[in-house]
Structure 1
């Protein structure tokens, strides 16, 4: 099971966007963990989708977790995902996806 511990609010943000974006596949990865390159790539792409949706929500003044602007969480997201990918051995996948998505 994937659980972010340093910045626990990242768990809430990820859960929120799993629901909003209807991503049952990502919910399964949270339960089962990242077990292969495909999981790592799928999860990495979802994180970038989440960041894009955060930006869209801010532009549309959508309140998420009590705030319209959650951009201050982006460094926390980066820290937690980088740590997760390093710990699971898929940091290279995260970097590769990030380079394409930026």
Structure 2
């Protein structure tokens, strides 16, 4: 299953607080990527956010991975986890009852 994880800075935290953990954070992200669990990652400067796309067995596995991130453990980032799924609404394109004759 795929999961979107949105990481945002906790209000009031300073760049110096983040800097102390960045090498460990990037190493952790790289290990997850090379293990095949983390599929994609993006950074947005405005608003500041990191987007991670995981492919893992279940939400509990993603939660364990996210809570092990150094910046999460240090209380510098908040995380939102969203399970991604198929888009069944596309089936309307093939529903003969909805297609005009």
TM-score by length of 2: 0.32
Q: Give the helix-richer structure, 1 or 2.
A: 1
TM-score by length of 1: 0.32
Tell me which structure has the larger Cα radius of gyration. 2
Q: Give the strand-richer structure, 1 or 2.
A: 2
